[in-house]
Amino acid sequence: MNPPFSHGQDIRHILRAFSLLRPGGVLVAVCLNGPRQQEKLLPFSDVREELPRGTFAYTDVPTMIIRLRA
């Protein structure tokens, strides 16, 4: 999933989607790579890959891909 990033929306979207997974379900998401995201999302993540700045056109924000398993 690629949620909106502004005002912590990525955190809310990802945690909501994670709460809807069935046992054994997997969620892969792109999100900001900031301190709030690391604090709120990484405890649920078993894979994290940092992406280089500028990976996405017209942006220069730090991002990462995370995988969460229910």
pLDDT, residue 57, reads 86
For residues 14 and 43, is the Cβ–Cβ distance under 8 A?
A: no
Relative to beta strand 26-32, strand 63-69 is antiparallel
Predicted confidence pLDDT, tens digits, the chain (70 residues):
999 999 999 999 999 999 999 999 999 999 999 999 999 999 999 999 999 988 988 888 999 999 999 9
Q: Is the pTM of this model over 0.85?
A: yes
Where do the structural domains in the chain lie, given as residue ranges?
6-69
pLDDT, residue 20, reads 98
